[in-house]
Amino acid sequence: MSNRTVERLSALTVLSPQGEEVPLASLWERQPVVLALIRHFG
């Protein structure tokens, strides 16, 4: 993944299981992660 893509992704927020907004970059601060995106149609 390019550095530009990582920079753009790190600016986004996601919802935690508790419903709180979490900076996406915080997920890979301590360890590598696998990011899977699921899109719901309908």
Segment 3-41, tens digit of pLDDT: 888 888 888 998 888 999 999 888 888 898 888 888 888
The predicted model scores a pTM of: 0.58
Distance CA 10, CA 5 (A): 9
CA nearest to 35, candidates 7, 18, 25, 21? 25
The token pair that represents 39 in the structure block? 């899109």
Q: In this structure, what are the phi and psi dihedrals at residue 34, rounded to the nearest 5 degrees?
A: -110, 125
CB of 15 closer than 8 Å to CB of 22: yes
